[in-house]
Amino acid sequence: MELAKQTKESVFGKKVWFRGIIEFSNICHNNCYYCGIRSDNTEKESFIMSHDEILSCVDFIHSANYGSVVFQSGEIKSESFKDFLLTTVESTHRKYPKLGITISCGEFDRDFLKNLKLAGANRYLLRIETSNNDLYQKLHPNEMLWDDRYACLKNLQQLDYQVGTGIMIGLPGQTLDDLFHDLKFFVDNQFDMFGVGLYVTHQNTPIGSDPAVVTWWNNNKEKHFNRLLNFLSILRILLPTVNIAATTSCDVFHPSGRMMVLNSSGNIIMPVVTPQKYRHHYLLYDGKPCMDETKEICYDCTIAKLKKAGLEPALGEHGTSPFYIKKNT
């Protein structure tokens, strides 16, 4: 971890870049066995924020000087949703041409991804979840294919997006060998950014409601958190110039989980900007942090934590992945 920290600081110093994340809808047509917003979760109260609500969050991101926005939602497979997303990106880009725009809404066809890019989106986050095709199929229904997700990542790269991917660590059935292959997959495919999280159970999912999984998960929490810190440290040493985010799920395992990542391998933080009234409905896993906070509180808290950790908030900066810049010059 010390070598990862030195490697990171030689590229980025103490700086940490911001991506304000707006989780604008929990509607999802997919049915991933681990995810709290899966389509079969009947306990979920569905929402989609209005265009004006989203833009007012974007206004906040601009005034807070976060430098970039992430639009995240479930995967909604309808033409009307595509139009909605396109309009949202267009309006954001027109109003704030300098703001970085990241999309994290699942898999789309190449033509639509191209249109989103033309509308102003410049980054895309799509976790592969695991590089092991067999494990992927155990975690998803048959109609969800690892090959489709990979093809989408390749399309994004060909369209010149800055592409971020990632996995969950601590998935039931995941081995150390899988993690080794995940690292190899990341390096071989030249991704620009990474969001690696920890698997956390959700009570209304097929995997997370299994008492044996819950017991196993509780007994292995600490081990998985350490595994994440080590995994990201190796990733940083392998790819010194990529962007690595400290993901929210780290704080489920340790109150300073995200800061521990930022004090070793990470250089990106994603404060939640979703309006407070929607936060409880965007529950990917149980015990998600920042549920009762407002976007203003998340701002104050993030800045205070970074300063306390001796890190420097890089407000007002895009934070483009140097790996991406180098690849394209």
* Site of interaction with ligand SAH (CB under 6 A): 34-35, 72, 74-75, 104-106, 126-127, 129, 168, 197, 199-200, 202, 249, 284-285
User: What is the amino acid identity at position 7?
Assistant: T
116-146 burial code (b ≥16 CB/10 A, e <16): bbebbbbbbbbbbbbbbeebbeebbeeebeb
Q: Return the number of the residue (197 or 319) whose C-beta is nearest ligand SAH.
A: 197
Q: Return the number of the residue (159 or 303) whose C-beta is nearest ligand SAH.
A: 159
Q: Return the number of the residue (4 or 156) whose C-beta is nearest ligand SAH.
A: 156
Q: Return the number of the residue (44 or 127) whose C-beta is nearest ligand SAH.
A: 127
What is the nearest approach in angstroms of ligand SAH to the Cβ of residue 167? 7
Q: Return the number of the residue (66 or 285) whose C-beta is nearest ligand SAH.
A: 285
What is the nearest approach in angstroms of ligand SAH to the Cβ of residue 1? 22
Interatomic CA distance for residues 66 and 164, integer angstroms = 19
Q: Nearest 5 degrees, angle CA 321-CA 326-CA 329?
A: 130
Q: Which of 202, 148, 162 is nearest to 26 (CA)?
A: 202
Q: Which of 102, 154, 10 is nearest to 319 (CA)?
A: 102
What is the nearest approach in angstroms of ligand SAH to the Cβ of residue 5? 25
What is the nearest approach in angstroms of ligand SAH to the Cβ of residue 208? 6
Question: Which residues, 6 or more positions from 59, have their beta carbon under 8 angstroms from its beta carbon?
Answer: none
CB 67 within 8 A of CB 18: yes
Q: Return the number of the residue (117 or 140) whose C-beta is nearest ligand SAH.
A: 140
What is the nearest approach in angstroms of ligand SAH to the Cβ of residue 98? 25
Q: Return the number of the residue (11 or 214) whose C-beta is nearest ligand SAH.
A: 214
What is the nearest approach in angstroms of ligand SAH to the Cβ of residue 83? 18
CB 139 within 8 A of CB 130: yes
Element (H, E) at 229: helix 211-238
Interatomic CA distance for residues 51 and 48, integer angstroms = 9
Q: Are strands 15-18 and 20-25 parallel, antiparallel or unpaired?
A: unpaired
What is the nearest approach in angstroms of ligand SAH to the Cβ of residue 26? 9
Residues in the chain: 329
Structure tokens at 238: 């392998």
